[in-house]
Structure 1
Amino acid sequence: MPLPDLHSTRERLRQGRTDVAAELGAAAAVARSAACTHVFLKTRFEAAAAEAAAVPPGAPLAGLPVSIKDLFDFAGDVTTAGSVALVDAEPARVDAPAVQRLRAAGGTVVGRTNMTEFAFSGVGVNPHYGTPPNPCDPKTPRIPGGSSSGGAVSVATGAAFIGLGSDTGGSIRIPAALCGIVGFKNTARLTPLEGAYPLSGTLDTVCAMTRSVRDAVLAHEILAARTVARSDAPLSGYRFAVATTQLLDDMDATVARAFQRTLRRLGDAGARIDEIPLPQVHELGSIQSAGGFAAAESYAWHRQLLLQEGSRYDPRVRVRIERGAGMKAYEYIELQRARGAWVREVGQALAGYDAVLSPTVPIVAPPIADVAPGAGRDEAFFGLNALLLRNPSVVNMLDGCALSLPCHAPDELPVGLMAWHGALHDDAILNLSVQIENLLSSKA
């Protein structure tokens, strides 16, 4: 049975069928249970309860619990970015703007969530604080996806209604897909990056995970301080592209079955779906052959900290950051130029389409044991990381927006459908995703 989303819980509050204290109590019980092992680095339910009692009537988030990734400043706390190298840093003096906006909207912060160290991996493994197990499989501990690993599990288990996170190459959408929830990566410029440790200033996006698309719309409106232009256009009014170059490669049987079944249902509902080659996706490898933005820009930020605390870094993260040391200035400038040209070419190829549909990631969540820190597993880890990042990172390079929503059957492990487009198509992606979710939640 799916957990109630924020909208339905607000309605239950209005009807007097629950109250905020009960909701916070239930969230606290979940957060302290085995389902949330390694999910929170710090909780504050007593303070949250006091804050919730002071939330004014009619506040959009109604005093309900939200979690924040350990990437974001929260006044009085040390922001460690999932690392032990920063545990002695000064506490934050003020909340990050994204945190401020959630609290101003009536969200009560119940804790800081675990993450991949410095947000530099899509797998979700953390050797310092443990790896949160994906709640999708009670028998086999599976990866949650990253880097916003703890945030995804907090939403999927019921410990929070919104999980604030970041997305540089898929760090919101990957864990959302693997944990069976919704993750929306907005156009990066729409949400403030201040008060969050950077990975790549060029690609970083502040965004959130939720239990439904309608909750994603609300969370985006709060974080971006803007109103989404709503549309009730039916699916028959949309034209979708399915890009066949690389984005459909290496799908496992569960993902392939769920993706094709979803396309059939959309087609039956009247949506127009065209397969297109989009060869530009294949060009990304050569464009980034000298190194990508994340390595170069993260190394610029971490260079001094590595000299002082490098031995305390996750070795898998450190090696990826240090690749940026070899990138020359002219190569970085050429990468910027090539990206601009590539964005224009992709934009031309997608003209006339409302969205592209792809699997968010091509596989279901594998067991943590396959890639846990340890001798002989690094090759498997880096191979899995590249596979998970492959599809969602296309959108970050495009400076675009994308939403991942569940498309699996009840007896399948979670599979994410990603609807995406270029910059500032956010409202269209959100509106059509509402329609897709409604279709998939109805009886076939």
Structure 2
Amino acid sequence: MRESGKRSARDKIEEVLTRLAERANDERVFLKLYPDATRLAADAADARRRVGISLGPLDGRIVSIKDLFDVGGETTTAGSAALAVAPPAVRDATVVARLRRAGAVIVGKTNMTEFAFSGIGLNRHFGTPGNAADPTRVAGGSSSGAGVSVAEDTSDIAIGSDTGGSVRIPAALNGVVGFKPTHGRVPLAGVFPLSSTLDSIGPLARTVADCALADAIMAGEEPAEIAPFPLSGLRIGIPRGRLFGDMDAAVGEGFERSLRALEAAGARVADHSIDDLLAEMREATRAASIASVEAAEVHADLMATQAWSLVDPRIGGPIARRAAVPAHAYIRLLRRRSALAAVMDERLMPVDVLALPTTPVVAPAIQPLLEDNDLYDRTDGLLLRNPQVANQFDLTAISLPMPGINLPAGLMLFARNGHDHHLLSVAAAVEELFRRAL
């Protein structure tokens, strides 16, 4: 069925549901599907369009949500079998309710790292989603299923969470766009937490425009078309140093090729060091990260039950150990982080954005990570190293696919706290440049 030259919402969702049904015996991207509800939502969107009514640019678009968003009447498991018997949610998470009101067709909940506590994307309970470009490789975490669902076109937009890169890592490794807004821009009500200080809710999509659309709706704003920022004169800082170590040759070459294209378009590219601030943050978090201490508080009650034995030791062990961090150390850590974030904000004033590879490597193979705990820990640290800077220093950030690379990799842009619209405008211009020039 076609309406006004476009496929109907019902046609699109039927195509997706058919594809998912064909792999139902080995489904690892989605943990839950809503076939009946999605058909009804799609039919409603089509009926509105036939009579010239629209709820906005998201009306009839297919959206997936990560398994840590509440849906009224069902248990939120956050990627863990340990939460299977938790009470059902009373109502939808705020962002889910806003997406529904905007006409989104919510197809299902996507797989994730257990409790969102890793950047790799493995899940011992529900299986590990394979990377969209090579299923023998990881999808990245913690929003693993979200990244794959967009890249494989089983959702137009996926909603994830980002505490240390959990939107941007899977976006980069699967070749899509992932946006982390400023912390607090999007409400966290009804979202299973990892870290109340660092958690942000962000979209993954195939374009910057779709990310901006979903972000605006979730933030309670009126969606508006992005005006690309002029590349001529754009000030781009490159934080060379610690964040450029241990890099795959293909990622490094793709990054330098991207910079040359930006310079050819008139952007002013210059080194802009932040290594001193990174060193101070590293020292402040040497004993424990903010996310791990806050995760220990989130799971304190669960740790006292038998259900905790179901948690993957790679996830549960580090969380449990942080329960011993004293309150005074945690409070001092928060104060130190606030002070360093203020210095970082001042450091970024002379530039429009910082640019760096989202991850220094392409997606690693799954099997070696399942077999080697030391390799798992090193890989997790490497994948998180660059993107977590935005969370630690309270910035906004986006990952764009770098063109011309066999396996996907991302170009990441950082901007100052609260400069979300500016960052999206810059990203839209860079995206268009990549389409034309590379």
If the length of structure 2 is used for normalisation, what is the TM-score? 0.94
Query: Alpha-carbon deviation of 1:15?
Result: 3.6
Separation of aligned partners in 1, 2:2 and 2:221: 25
Separation of aligned partners in 1, 2:434 and 2:3: 28
Return closer, same or farther for 1:232/1:125 CA change in 2, 3 Å cut-off: closer
Kindly provide the amino acid, as one letter, of the partner of residue 117 in structure 1: E
Kindly provide the amino acid, as one letter, of the partner of residue 365 in structure 2: P
Query: Alpha-carbon deviation of 1:158?
Result: 0.8
Matches within 5 A, 1:318-357: 318-357=316-355
Return closer, same or farther for 1:14/1:334 CA change in 2, 3 Å cut-off: farther
Separation of aligned partners in 1, 2:111 and 2:75: 13
In the other structure, the counterpart of 2:396 is: 401
Return closer, same or farther for 1:235/1:228 CA change in 2, 3 Å cut-off: farther
Separation of aligned partners in 1, 2:212 and 2:187: 17
In the other structure, the counterpart of 1:116 is: 113
Contact 1:290/1:331 (8 A) holds in 2: no
Q: Which moved more, 1:88-97 or 1:174-183?
A: 88-97
* Pair 1:421-2:415 in alignment: yes
Which deviations, in whole Å up to 9, do the C-alpha atoms of 1:121-146 show, x marking residues without a partner? 00000000000000112xx5110000
Q: What is the RMSD of the two structures over their aligned residues, measured on CA atoms?
A: 1.7
Kindly provide the amino acid, as one letter, of the partner of residue 46 in structure 1: D
Which deviations, in whole Å up to 9, do the C-alpha atoms of 1:86-136 show, x marking residues without a partner? 111122121000101111111011111110000000000000000000011
Kindly provide the amino acid, as one letter, of the partner of residue 374 in structure 2: E
Kindly provide the amino acid, as one letter, of the partner of residue 38 in structure 1: R
Return closer, same or farther for 1:259/1:47 CA change in 2, 3 Å cut-off: same
* Pair 1:190-2:188 in alignment: no
In the other structure, the counterpart of 2:247 is: 251
Separation of aligned partners in 2, 1:202 and 1:345: 18
Contact 2:236/2:267 (8 A) holds in 1: yes
Query: Alpha-carbon deviation of 1:162?
Result: 1.1
Separation of aligned partners in 2, 1:211 and 1:158: 9
In the other structure, the counterpart of 1:7 is: none
Partner of 2:387, secondary structure, is helix
Separation of aligned partners in 2, 1:69 and 1:231: 29
Query: Alpha-carbon deviation of 1:14?
Result: 6.8
Return closer, same or farther for 1:261/1:13 CA change in 2, 3 Å cut-off: farther
Separation of aligned partners in 2, 1:28 and 1:235: 41
Query: Alpha-carbon deviation of 1:13?
Result: 7.3
In the other structure, the counterpart of 1:9 is: none
Q: 2:42 aligns with which of 52, 76, 84?
A: 52
Q: Which moved more, 1:42-51 or 1:126-135?
A: 42-51
Question: Percent identity over the alignment?
Answer: 42
In the other structure, the counterpart of 2:141 is: 146
Which deviations, in whole Å up to 9, do the C-alpha atoms of 1:310-341 show, x marking residues without a partner? 11101100012113112111111111111111
Contact 2:229/2:428 (8 A) holds in 1: no
In the other structure, the counterpart of 2:58 is: 61
| Alignment: residue pair count | 427
Kindly provide the amino acid, as one letter, of the partner of residue 94 in structure 2: P
* Pair 1:369-2:367 in alignment: yes
Return closer, same or farther for 1:45/1:345 CA change in 2, 3 Å cut-off: same
Q: Which moved more, 1:318-327 or 1:113-122?
A: 318-327
In the other structure, the counterpart of 1:239 is: 235
In the other structure, the counterpart of 2:204 is: 209
Q: 2:88 aligns with which of 87, 91, 97?
A: 91
Query: Alpha-carbon deviation of 1:352?
Result: 1.7
Separation of aligned partners in 2, 1:277 and 1:208: 29
Matches within 5 A, 1:255-266: 255-266=251-262
In the other structure, the counterpart of 1:133 is: 130
Query: Alpha-carbon deviation of 1:403?
Result: 0.5
If the length of structure 1 is used for normalisation, what is the TM-score? 0.93
Contact 2:228/2:427 (8 A) holds in 1: no
Return closer, same or farther for 1:240/1:66 CA change in 2, 3 Å cut-off: same
In the TM superposition, structure 1's runs of 4+ consecutive aligned residues that sit over 3 Å from their partners are 12-15, 32-37, 227-233
Partner of 2:432, secondary structure, is helix
Partner of 1:364, secondary structure, is coil
Query: Alpha-carbon deviation of 1:188?
Result: 1.2
Contact 1:361/1:387 (8 A) holds in 2: yes
* Pair 1:27-2:22 in alignment: no
Query: Alpha-carbon deviation of 1:79?
Result: 0.6
Kindly provide the amino acid, as one letter, of the partner of residue 165 in structure 2: G
Separation of aligned partners in 2, 1:267 and 1:324: 45
* Pair 1:439-2:433 in alignment: yes
In the other structure, the counterpart of 1:430 is: 424
Separation of aligned partners in 1, 2:5 and 2:17: 21
Separation of aligned partners in 2, 1:231 and 1:354: 16
Partner of 1:99, secondary structure, is helix
Contact 1:37/1:133 (8 A) holds in 2: no
Partner of 2:381, secondary structure, is helix
